[in-house]
Structure 1
Amino acid sequence: MEPGVLKDIVIIFALSTFVNFIFTRIRIPAIIGYLITGIIAGPYLLKLISSPENVEVMAEIGVILLMFTIGLEFSLNHLLNIRKVVFLGGFMQLLLTATITMLTARVFHFEWTESVFVGFLTALSSTAVVLKLLQERSELTTHYGKTIVGILIFQDIILIPLLLFTPMLGGATADVGHDLLLLMLKTIGIMLFIWVGTKWLMPWLLHLIAMTRSQELFLMSLLLICLAVAMLTHQLGMSLAFGAFLAGLMISDTEYSHSAFGNLIPFKDVFTSFFFVSIGMLLDLGFVADHPWLVIGTVLLVIVLKAFVAGLTAFSLGHTFFGTVVVGLSLAQVGEFSFILAGLGLMHEIITPVHYQLFLAVAVTSMALSPLMIQISRPLANLILRLPLPPGIVNGLFPVKQVEIPEISNHTLLIGKDSRAINLASMIKTMGLPFTSIVFDPDLARREMEKGNMTVFGDATFEPVLREAFAHTAELVVISVGNLITALSIVEHIRKMNKHAHIIVRTRHVTDIEELYKLGASQVIPEEFETAIDFFERILGKYLIPRMDIERAIARTREDNYGIFRDRSKVGGYSLLKDIPDIEIAAVRVGEESVFAGKTIAQTAMRKTAGVTIVAINHDGKITANPDPSSVINGNDIAYLLGKPEMIALAINILSEPRPD
């Protein structure tokens, strides 16, 4: 490696670290930090980068790895399920955006050829920016997330015909029929390759590699598959990024997809940062300073036009007003593939140098504003929905027919965006427990209603939706939405209308626990930590550690990591458990063959042998609180134990011990 290249990498890393350290403290997305790094280090400001072409190579690798991981999170079945969105929605968005932009350009006296070309440039949105943001927010598989992905996939596919069409706009002669026939044959070949790869090649190949038990070989093989398929599609005239997405799709249905995703995350994050830095380097601040109002006006015009058309497309596909706003603002920027088209257009003299610089300024600025637009899309939609809008606009063209839920109380309310909440509903239903649910995705909501479940479709951050599912009378509320901001809003609303409900929230990180408890959560389950606990439990079991010791070790681990935020309720009247956070109450079913079945509390000597107190007994649905020592514990009774977590684990082990033969 040349010293100049190493110097460029050091400069980019140093500037990115400094800028993003500041931005993280003030809660500004990292993407903006990378773009600013590129602007500062680029050729139009401090000129710190000596080899921009090397940065572009690393940026290309970043986009490839990003699209590969997006493909891993999807699957071929998911892609087939959204084929209507890909082709109908994608075509509608592209055609309307290109047409309106072309007519607008004609109003400003652009030539016809340049107007058509500018229309195509504007129609494309940023796959790399949008999908990275949706991936970070765990929104790729939401209803609006699938629509966004579908439209972006169509844009990536249509890039090939656009690249063929651009020289013709510039006056170059070409055999259009031959090129289209060749393109059709390539497409059929790629579809056949994906089908064979998904069904036979990838499962066999990855299994063969995994059997070597070599992590290095597995990682190298993943990179080889990703880059080889990307290169193959590039040779066929398609983009490298689209090829990487297809490679991810082929692996996504195998049992090794999660391992592949985890292995590539560090590489993806590092190289993707170079992509955003390279985009920032394209912005000529001198041009912006000379034409500030032209740039600002054009940026606003492009964002409004693209948001309107993308939103109209989403509404036509059946989205509610909420989904319409989110999709519209998410696709309101100019895409990275437009840079390739613009460069080709400049080479063929379709677009003037001045308009090319204007395009670069508008594209980079709109990309920089994308995190903000996506972040405000949900609050903005909720704010507008407070207005007295017609039901047809609020609920969309194909509204989900709501189920009339009879008045219910002391039930469980499930709130979720994905399959976790649906699976939990099935489990609760098998136990015969009363429950209602709120589902954000209309397709999932329809399926749940068809099963006869009391399901409400809507956004649980709205109080009317919560009341429709009787959140105000629920005894237990389970929130599994993935996004911290959404979860905080739901917890706050529920706690205001229901002071006594036990609220369980799923979150991603242990660091989220305190914020959720402050707003009224009773129990918070950080999935990353609990996954580690599950692994820990299985590891100890594999080493044949006694069950009692495993329960004690897990209890101590949770105590050490959760601290004062261990399962607790911050509402209601005074409770001793608030002042003694390491004490809890647990319900334990006494086995019918238990050594203590048929004995009195005094005979069990629980206080002496396990250090816990039996504070209540549930016998055939009748609860006896504060039972006296002569109370008999029968088989199949539920004993309520008060004590430290590790002592309760010991008591569970004792109560489960069968009678000796």
Structure 2
Amino acid sequence: MSAAEATTHLYPLISDLGLILMTAAVAVLLFKIIKQPLVLGYLIAGFLAGNHFDFFPSVKDIHSVEIWAEIGVIFLLFSLGLEFSFKKLMKVGGTASITAITQIAFMLFLGYTVGILMGWERMDCLFLGVILSISSTTIILKTFDELGVKAQKFAGNVIGALIVQDIVAILMMVLLSTIAVSSQFSGSELLFSILKLAFFLTIWFVGGIFFIPTILKRAKHLLSDEMLLIISLGLCLMMVILAANVGFSPALGAFIMGSIIAETTQAEHIEHLVKPVKDLFGAVFFVSVGMLINPSTLVEYAIPVAILTLVTIFGQSLSATGGALLSGQPLKPAVQTGMSLSQIGEFSFIIATLGMSLGVTSSFLYPTVVAVSAVTTFTTPFMVRWSKPFSEYLSQKLPRKWLRRIERYSANAQAIKSVSNWQIVLRAYLTQVAIHTIIIISVILLSSNYLLPLVQGNKYGNLIAAFGTLAVLSPFIWALSLRRVATKEVQILMAERKYRGPLVMMVLFRFLLTLFLLGFLLNNFFSPRVALLTFCVSIVLYILFQRKLNKQYHRIETHFMRNFNAREILRDKNNRSDLTPWDGHMTLFDIAKESNLAGKTLKEMKLREKMGVNIAFIKRGEISINIPNRNERLFPGDEICVIGTDDQLQQFKGFLEQNERDAPENEVESDIVLQQLQLENEEFIGKSIRDSQLREKTSGLVVGIERQGKRILNPDSLEILEKDDILWIVGERKLLATLK
């Protein structure tokens, strides 16, 4: 291919991307000036850059833009996973699930009914109900970012509900496909889809947590920012491919990988590195949505668009608010949750496209859905912004008797945290059986499909493959059959006669399930007669090596739990809790390098007096300063944990931003850095800080000493330096390098 041909081939793609980014940039600047959410600017930019206006430059290849937009959704969901891990989902799981399921059920019924009343076909109505029941993750996340409310308490419930919605949306897509093809409901197909989703989610999560944090930790000293970014995005796209190959949404794969990486100690750093990529492709996604808005469609279907827009805004708000109240949320966060979920977005586009590709929906459904999505995207920032004043208005206007009942119900729901011993045992038992069964089945299938074909030509190939697989699975087979769970609670229950029978049956079921899985494994490699003989040999070996299997399993489990809890162990060494009184909660903030607060003491800033917030701890490099005193100074790059209410934290965030904006625009990058140095130079050992002349030699200041696990912050100049002290010094980069 000649250079001219290559240029001609690439020209539409490059010119279209350039046009998208330039229109997005102009929109960002304009909407920043008028202080409006940037999402609206992106949509208007796409609307103007589309093919519907001849007096503006237009995109030539819409298909390429759709590809860029799909990539944008992937990186947005990956970023969401980094911010909202599985562990956070489990914490708000009950609340989020009740909120999401209530909303989906109500909107399914409402959307279907409204479609019937407008005279649409039944299949159009069914797809419409599903489309209107799923809120937009990307639009809400972008709006939360722009409005700065992600740190508020209700945002956690909103994001949790969105994740539950996305998972339910995948199941509903499978169900819609079945109904569209066979024109009947298939319960078995739906059940299979649910089991398949649970199977792969468990395997991906357990395997990811076991391997990925370990790899990142061991290669930490080799990873530059560039390599870490490439590896993170590579892992994201690998999981996208895996999810697509097993029939799931690529966006779900991206979210899962983000959630796995979120459990590593480098999650914040990776999130920071990925943010520019997410912002770039996110802008392309929102501009592409704006391009899909057709003015002629808006005119032709103005009445259905208006009706469905009102149904979406009010229906989503009411149903989500009701779900949040039902889950035990107080009135204020419930209203904020409901009004934040009042739109449709990317999943609605996917479902509408599914109906078109299957040929079961009318041609007007897709453009109508796009128009409703565009309008509700415009209204979302205002709904989020007005949710707080509206909740306060309701608190004043609702009858006092209603408010007391809501408060009493919320308090009772929050208080029902304790569970009975039987519930604890049953939950531990089901978790034990489910996880180990899934691990065993997945390894057997992998071995049968990939290992066995490689060794079948060898005389003893099947034997080698079978015993190799059995060796890998033996710790998990032991755990499934004999590992004790919730031992304390089981002992208590065994003292009561009514629980003895169920407990014995549970143990027996685990043992029989283990024998079945062992037989399933051997049957994949041998004929029934040889499999039976090998089965007996395996049982004997299994009994003889119980202790070794026990030890091996506990080694695996310890490694997994260490990875799973690594982030909390690092951050929560002194049992920092987020159980704070009233509406207070903890949020992390970074002190920017250009902040005017750098170098000031907490006493000078008077944060408690001015805003009512408290500093729980300051993280400086690898050192955590817990409950800092009033004389502690802030330094560039510090991560501070601030305790306060939503209003107080919002005020503090504005305080930080104000001090960043006041920084000089043409500031030259400073050569002053904060570095950690281990004292091994004999020249300084045994001398005081003053006599060592470290200040003069580094043009800096010793701000901390770590000695035998103890920390001396802001040490006195007469402090004697000892061998192997770890010094924290603020000084010139080049001069500090000479001390290493």
Query: TM-score per shorter chain, which class?
Result: 0.5 to 0.7
Whether the aligned pair in 1 keeps the contact of 2:85 and 2:260 (CA below 8 Å) is: yes
Residue 200 and residue 355 in structure 1: after superposition, are their counterparts in 2 closer, same or farther (change >3 A)? closer
**Equivalent residue of 1:332, what SS?**
coil
Equivalent AA in structure 2 for residue 507 of structure 1: K
Cα displacement string for residues 582-634 of structure 1 (whole angstroms, at most 9, x for unaligned residues): xxxxxx99989999xxxxxxxxxxxxxxxxxxxxxxxxxxxxxxxxxxxxxxx
278, 288, 304: which one aligns with 1:268: 278
Q: Which residue of 1 aligns with 2:255?
A: 245
Structure 2 Cα separation of the partners of residues 301 and 54 of structure 1: 33
374, 396, 404: which one aligns with 1:364: 374
Whether the aligned pair in 2 keeps the contact of 1:400 and 1:457 (CA below 8 Å) is: no
Whether the aligned pair in 2 keeps the contact of 1:127 and 1:152 (CA below 8 Å) is: yes
Structure 1 Cα separation of the partners of residues 183 and 695 of structure 2: 80
Residue 204 and residue 175 in structure 1: after superposition, are their counterparts in 2 closer, same or farther (change >3 A)? farther
Q: Which residue of 2 aligns with 1:512?
A: 658
Residue 255 and residue 183 in structure 1: after superposition, are their counterparts in 2 closer, same or farther (change >3 A)? same
Structure 2 Cα separation of the partners of residues 393 and 135 of structure 1: 34
**Equivalent residue of 2:72, what SS?**
helix
Q: 1:152 and 2:155 equivalent?
A: no
Cα displacement string for residues 234-277 of structure 1 (whole angstroms, at most 9, x for unaligned residues): 22221111111100111111112122111111111001111101
Q: 1:38 and 2:46 equivalent?
A: yes
Q: 1:197 and 2:210 equivalent?
A: no
Q: Which residue of 1 aligns with 2:310?
A: 300
Shift of 1:278: 1.1
375, 388, 391: which one aligns with 1:378: 388
Alignment of 1:248-647 (within 5 A): 248-387=258-397, 389-390=399-400, 391-392=403-404, 395=407, 397-399=409-411, 444=578, 447-448=579-580, 455-457=581-583, 478-479=612-613, 506-507=652-653, 510-513=656-659, 536-538=673-675
Shift of 1:131: 2.2
Q: 1:24 and 2:24 equivalent?
A: no
Structure 1 Cα separation of the partners of residues 313 and 34 of structure 2: 25
Q: Which residue of 1 aligns with 2:235?
A: 225
Whether the aligned pair in 2 keeps the contact of 1:332 and 1:366 (CA below 8 Å) is: yes
Residue 38 and residue 179 in structure 1: after superposition, are their counterparts in 2 closer, same or farther (change >3 A)? same
The size of the alignment, in residue pairs, is 484
Q: 1:121 and 2:131 equivalent?
A: yes
Equivalent AA in structure 1 for residue 143 of structure 2: L
Equivalent AA in structure 2 for residue 218 of structure 1: L
Q: Which residue of 2 aligns with 1:499?
A: none
**Equivalent residue of 1:170, what SS?**
helix
Q: 1:73 and 2:83 equivalent?
A: yes
Whether the aligned pair in 2 keeps the contact of 1:122 and 1:334 (CA below 8 Å) is: yes
**Equivalent residue of 1:48, what SS?**
coil
User: Which stretch of structure 1 is more off in the superposition, 387-396 or 19-28?
Assistant: 387-396
Whether the aligned pair in 2 keeps the contact of 1:35 and 1:276 (CA below 8 Å) is: yes
TM-score (norm 2): 0.57
Q: 1:212 and 2:349 equivalent?
A: no
Whether the aligned pair in 1 keeps the contact of 2:583 and 2:645 (CA below 8 Å) is: no
Structure 1 Cα separation of the partners of residues 413 and 256 of structure 2: 36
Cα displacement string for residues 285-309 of structure 1 (whole angstroms, at most 9, x for unaligned residues): 1122344454334312321111111
Equivalent AA in structure 2 for residue 25 of structure 1: I
Cα displacement string for residues 289-333 of structure 1 (whole angstroms, at most 9, x for unaligned residues): 344454334312321111111111111111122112211111100
User: Which stretch of structure 1 is more off in the superposition, 300-309 or 112-121?
Assistant: 112-121
Structure 2 Cα separation of the partners of residues 45 and 397 of structure 1: 54
Structure 2 Cα separation of the partners of residues 319 and 55 of structure 1: 41
- What are the ranges of 5 or more consecutive residues in structure 1 without an aligned counterpart? 403-418, 428-442, 449-454, 461-473, 493-504, 518-525, 527-531, 556-587, 596-661
Shift of 1:552: 9.0
Whether the aligned pair in 1 keeps the contact of 2:100 and 2:320 (CA below 8 Å) is: no
Shift of 1:365: 1.3
Shift of 1:483: 14
Structure 1 Cα separation of the partners of residues 184 and 368 of structure 2: 30
Whether the aligned pair in 2 keeps the contact of 1:93 and 1:151 (CA below 8 Å) is: no
Shift of 1:348: 3.8
Structure 2 Cα separation of the partners of residues 340 and 547 of structure 1: 63
TM-score (norm 1): 0.64
Structure 2 Cα separation of the partners of residues 206 and 508 of structure 1: 35
Structure 1 Cα separation of the partners of residues 399 and 326 of structure 2: 17
Equivalent AA in structure 2 for residue 306 of structure 1: Q
Residue 476 and residue 58 in structure 1: after superposition, are their counterparts in 2 closer, same or farther (change >3 A)? closer
Residue 320 and residue 284 in structure 1: after superposition, are their counterparts in 2 closer, same or farther (change >3 A)? same
Equivalent AA in structure 2 for residue 538 of structure 1: Q
Structure 1 Cα separation of the partners of residues 128 and 157 of structure 2: 24
**Equivalent residue of 1:537, what SS?**
strand
Residue 102 and residue 175 in structure 1: after superposition, are their counterparts in 2 closer, same or farther (change >3 A)? closer
Equivalent AA in structure 2 for residue 211 of structure 1: H
Residue 8 and residue 393 in structure 1: after superposition, are their counterparts in 2 closer, same or farther (change >3 A)? farther
Structure 1 Cα separation of the partners of residues 90 and 218 of structure 2: 28
Structure 2 Cα separation of the partners of residues 217 and 187 of structure 1: 32
Equivalent AA in structure 2 for residue 102 of structure 1: Y
Residue 547 and residue 387 in structure 1: after superposition, are their counterparts in 2 closer, same or farther (change >3 A)? farther
Cα displacement string for residues 480-537 of structure 1 (whole angstroms, at most 9, x for unaligned residues): 79999x9996599xxxxxxxxxxxx74377542499x9xxxxxxxx9xxxxx99x933
Shift of 1:182: 4.5
Shift of 1:45: 2.7
Equivalent AA in structure 1 for residue 409 of structure 2: L
Q: Which residue of 1 aligns with 2:510?
A: none
Identical pairs, percent:
24
Residue 510 and residue 86 in structure 1: after superposition, are their counterparts in 2 closer, same or farther (change >3 A)? closer
Residue 392 and residue 242 in structure 1: after superposition, are their counterparts in 2 closer, same or farther (change >3 A)? farther
**Equivalent residue of 2:293, what SS?**
coil
Residue 312 and residue 148 in structure 1: after superposition, are their counterparts in 2 closer, same or farther (change >3 A)? same
Q: Cα RMSD over matched residues?
A: 4.4
Residue 219 and residue 81 in structure 1: after superposition, are their counterparts in 2 closer, same or farther (change >3 A)? same
Structure 1 Cα separation of the partners of residues 614 and 288 of structure 2: 37
Equivalent AA in structure 2 for residue 7 of structure 1: S
Structure 1 Cα separation of the partners of residues 697 and 268 of structure 2: 27
Structure 1 Cα separation of the partners of residues 654 and 312 of structure 2: 36
Shift of 1:10: 1.1
